[in-house]
Structure 1
Amino acid sequence: MTVLVSYKNISKTNSSNIVFFVDEKFNISNIKNYISRSEFSFISDLIKSKKLTKKILYFDISSKRQIILVSSSGKIKSSEAENLGAEFYNIFKTSTQKEFIINSDSVTNNLINFLGYFLLGIQLKSYSFDKYKSKKNQKKINITITGKKIPSLKDQNKFKAIKEGTFYARDLVSEPGNILHPDEYVKRIRALKKEGLQIKVYDEKKLKKLGMNTLLGVGQGSIRGSYLVTIEWKGLKDNSKPLAFVGKGVCFDTGGISLKPAKFMEDMTYDMAGSAVVVGLMKSLALRKAKVNAVGVVGLVENMPGGNAQRPGDIVKSYSGKTVEILNTDAEGRLVLADALTYTEEKFKPKFIIDLATLTGAIIVSLGSEYAGLFSNNDKLSNELIEAGEKVEEKVWRMPLNKNFDKLIDSKNADMQNINYVGGAGSTTAAQFLQRFILNKTPWAHLDIAGMAFSKYGGALNSGGATGYGVRLLNKLIEDKYE
């Protein structure tokens, strides 16, 4: 279902469905001037007879007219406003009423941009991926914001950019593997040039010349190409160091020669979710003309078994010069990220690097689908991510890194091995592996989003499927701390 939002600078309307905001006790004195006396009396009497346990009440004034009351506390948080919008969508998505007027003048809480967050919640919850269904949901909800407190054009564009970036990430993750293979993915990223992003694509020939053998090794069993793509946004006129975001883009992960079980393998289309977050974030930054320099780097491969596939026992030399013994070809994401991380640090010399990846099943065992795992070499960056995550309810939980874990990935035959065969600490040893490819002590954080990128049952702001987790988190980090 599509949600369409428009704005009109009028205060009164005789619309069939009108939405007002009231306080927690459903005190409606603030809407008295916007409805008739009889409607006011009718609603007042009904409120007195209701147990006020819900945050949204609606009253059928006639067969063609509803008055809807949305209650909020005076100290409401932005995430609560978004959840309120999602609740509004849930109530009315099956309603026969599809036209709503929202009266902005009735907003009484103190949250800056309350309406923006409320509308964003409605839109995020409305997302669906029905591209390949022969019968699509053609229904639309038309929402018109009226009054003197409508969001400014700048704020409208900001929230639209966040929605567009999140939806773009969700779209990428939702695509099947036969459609969104690395070759097609590159085409879609290149199309973002029209938003003002600078795109550079490194194909296999260029990657071989650079010596990115850990990344190339993952994709060598596939008939599709392997790529590293850099996406730059220059929102500042100076040449200040950019913020860097690196994403794992394994478009489909069979496990390679270390083949995964057949059950649920179809879900491995979302093993590129880390890269989708990076691409979606960069699109958001460009759309809202963010006052920051940033770069997104994604490694795009397909991990397939085949006559040319990487074997367990192979030893490869990374871009950093360090050698890796491949003990399990299904521990492939860290190999893609290894080359991408070192290249990003060396090429762009960023203020920090944050990588995102659906890296380990172990993080789901640890944190389920409530938190992403955070591993970092920097307390300041970690605390900023935790704070941003709490604000947008895309939460992270810091997990340990320690040199004592290094012995679990040391190899007898190379500088390191790509898995810990002793057992235990699967997510930590994966992060410990990645840390070895940060060579110049750049502040770095790794987000293991395996439990967050895809939801079978839906969450507060999504209805199931790809979540786009990470776009809003990183956008909030940038907005609060680096613009």
Structure 2
Amino acid sequence: MSHPVPIQFRATDLEALPALAGRIVVFADGPTGLTPAVRRLDRLMRGGLGRFVASEAFGKMKAGEALDLAWPAGLAAEAVQVVRLPKRCEIAVARKAGAAVAKALGASGATVLAEGHAQAAEIAFGLAMRAYDFTPHKTGEAKVPGPVVMMVTNPEAVAAAASPGAAVAEGVFFTRDLVNEPANILTTYDFAARLAAMQELGLEVEILEEEQLEKLGMGALLGVGQGSESPSKVVVMQWHGGEKGAAPFALVGKGVVFDTGGISIKPAGGMEEMTMDMGGAGVVAGVMRTLALRKAKANVVGLVGLVENMPDGRAQRPGDVVRSMKGDTIEVINTDAEGRLVLADVLWYTQERFKPTGIIDLATLTGAIIIALGHENTGVFSNDDELCNAFLKAARAEGEGAWRMPMGDAYDAKLKSRIADMMNVGGRDGGSITAAQFLQRFVKKDVPWIHLDIAGTALLKGDSTLAPKGATGWGVMALNRLIRDRFEGK
């Protein structure tokens, strides 16, 4: 799997500056208030750095933006990268600055002069997050970023502050790898095996096979995968870091490793992106990895339903009726509305087995949420204001876009079926809302619950601040922060 670029924290060494190879990165917010290291660098460059920082071009740069001074005289470095950044700034700006460093990072590496910067740990986090690259299926010589050294005032303190971020970045990278992986590689077998391997981190991992799912009565989930050669599975991951015996908080993810739409088959154009339809399960896995790596003081259980939606002779048909684990019957109007069928059974099983203090499910569930919110925000649906507000606060703190959507009885009525307890779709209008209403039927009334529709945020066609185009890992940062703030008192 992919791992964040290693970053070393060292005390500032002014004497080493002339001989440093690779890139040298400096932070400035104007010609005054430069650190001793930057002033020393300016003298070595015969005042060139200072002239640039005082120039109109620098003045037009926004906080977090960068510009290269190539082949600077008086230095062995290949370039000096100047990043506009106040010594004290918001977390998002510091991460943006780190990401600017990562985008220019080459094989020769970089030395980052972050002496005295209050947000040095967040700069390092942004750098690590943006340096991600998914390359396992590319041939030829791998482009591996060179070593990164951050010169800071107190290396031990900054390293300690950066440590939790390193665990988060590892979890995000795990999620991105899963979402980017093609479906012929990431089968239900392979996905389950990757999750089982996290037992070495201290997670308790259990794989429920089809025979067990049949005994449990998961007819909704099994109906989705019955047209595939890959067997359906449910993977249970438990982290016991909190009070012994205390009920856990639960995360549930949709893991459709490939979605053709089934008999209600999707158009060919863009279907290749349906390798990302397991994005919800990928986020759950990434959060569980992060919790284990940072030894979170909380009890959390993560469950994912792994299936493949294929249109063979055994595939589920429009008009079929399936019985959920809860016992409710569902008329399948559209086999491409399969994720909610998977989640229905996993949500019910989670509550029956673990009696969680709350549940958050994640799914690349509807195209309708992209029409509503674009690719900037995840759709948030909830039956509990307190939990929902806590999540939205965590998402804002981490810079992950999220927007609460409405729910209500009028939407719920659209799911009424003539021949079963409900239909799996309620029409085109309000499609993301009726999907959430469907899921709510499988959440017990006393259980705080959030549904996150990440169809627009899990995979992007262009770069974002902290990720190259492709999988973003959206949600790992926000959910990790929610668990930290809600259960660990930090």
Q: TM-score range by the shorter chain?
A: over 0.9
How does the TM-score come out when normalised to structure 2? 0.91
Residue number among 442, 446, 455 corresponding to 2:451 in the alignment: 446
Larger mean CA deviation between 195-204 and 231-240 belongs to 231-240
Counterpart of 1:72?
85
* CA 455–22 in structure 1, closer or farther in 2 if over 3 Å, else same: same
* CA 25–434 in structure 1, closer or farther in 2 if over 3 Å, else same: farther
Residue number among 175, 179, 182 corresponding to 2:181 in the alignment: 175
Residue number among 6, 9, 17 corresponding to 1:7 in the alignment: 9
Displacement of 1:152 after TM fit? 4.5
Displacement of 1:57 after TM fit? 4.6
Partner AA of 1:273 in structure 2: G
Task: Give SS of 2:86's match.
Answer: coil
1:217-256 equivalences under 5 Å are 217-256=223-262
Q: Decide whether the 8 Å contact of 1:101 with 1:146 is kept in 2.
A: yes
- Long gaps (5+) in structure 2: none
Question: In 1, distance between residues paired with 2:68 and 2:317?
Answer: 62
Partner AA of 1:23 in structure 2: D
- The answer to whether structure 1 residue 83 and structure 2 residue 96 are counterparts is yes
Counterpart of 1:281?
287
Q: Decide whether the 8 Å contact of 2:105 with 2:145 is kept in 1.
A: no
- The answer to whether structure 1 residue 395 and structure 2 residue 397 are counterparts is no
Task: Give SS of 2:150's match.
Answer: strand
The Cα offsets for residues 164-189 of structure 1, whole Å up to 9 and x where unpaired, read as: 10010010111111111111111111
Larger mean CA deviation between 33-42 and 283-292 belongs to 33-42
Residue number among 218, 222, 247 corresponding to 1:212 in the alignment: 218
Larger mean CA deviation between 369-378 and 2-11 belongs to 2-11
* CA 239–406 in structure 1, closer or farther in 2 if over 3 Å, else same: same
Counterpart of 1:102?
112
* CA 148–311 in structure 1, closer or farther in 2 if over 3 Å, else same: same
Counterpart of 2:313?
307
Counterpart of 2:487?
482
- Long gaps (5+) in structure 1: none
Q: Decide whether the 8 Å contact of 1:385 with 1:396 is kept in 2.
A: no
- The answer to whether structure 1 residue 332 and structure 2 residue 345 are counterparts is no
- The answer to whether structure 1 residue 291 and structure 2 residue 301 are counterparts is no
The Cα offsets for residues 300-342 of structure 1, whole Å up to 9 and x where unpaired, read as: 0001111211111111111111111111111100000000111
Question: In 2, distance between residues paired with 1:420 and 1:19?
Answer: 54
Residue number among 73, 92, 99 corresponding to 1:61 in the alignment: 73
How does the TM-score come out when normalised to structure 1? 0.93
Q: Decide whether the 8 Å contact of 1:32 with 1:40 is kept in 2.
A: no
Question: In 2, distance between residues paired with 1:126 and 1:470?
Answer: 19
1:414-425 equivalences under 5 Å are 414-421=420-427, 423-425=428-430
Partner AA of 2:6 in structure 1: L
- The answer to whether structure 1 residue 407 and structure 2 residue 423 are counterparts is no
* CA 74–145 in structure 1, closer or farther in 2 if over 3 Å, else same: closer
Question: In 1, distance between residues paired with 2:301 and 2:358?
Answer: 11
Q: Decide whether the 8 Å contact of 1:370 with 1:452 is kept in 2.
A: yes
* CA 364–115 in structure 1, closer or farther in 2 if over 3 Å, else same: same
Displacement of 1:63 after TM fit? 6.1
* CA 428–35 in structure 1, closer or farther in 2 if over 3 Å, else same: same
Q: Decide whether the 8 Å contact of 1:11 with 1:105 is kept in 2.
A: no
Question: In 2, distance between residues paired with 1:74 and 1:99?
Answer: 23
Question: In 2, distance between residues paired with 1:312 and 1:363?
Answer: 23
- The answer to whether structure 1 residue 203 and structure 2 residue 205 are counterparts is no
Q: Decide whether the 8 Å contact of 1:11 with 1:148 is kept in 2.
A: no
Question: In 2, distance between residues paired with 1:359 and 1:140?
Answer: 36
Counterpart of 1:455?
460
Partner AA of 1:123 in structure 2: A
Residue number among 466, 471, 476 corresponding to 1:471 in the alignment: 476
* CA 179–26 in structure 1, closer or farther in 2 if over 3 Å, else same: farther
Question: In 1, distance between residues paired with 2:31 and 2:485?
Answer: 33
Task: Give SS of 2:73's match.
Answer: strand
Question: Percent identity at matched positions?
Answer: 41
Question: In 2, distance between residues paired with 1:84 and 1:179?
Answer: 35
Displacement of 1:84 after TM fit? 1.3
* Residue-pair matches, total: 474
Q: Decide whether the 8 Å contact of 1:242 with 1:295 is kept in 2.
A: yes
Partner AA of 1:45 in structure 2: R
Question: In 2, distance between residues paired with 1:35 and 1:86?
Answer: 23
Displacement of 1:26 after TM fit? 5.7
Displacement of 1:39 after TM fit? 4.1
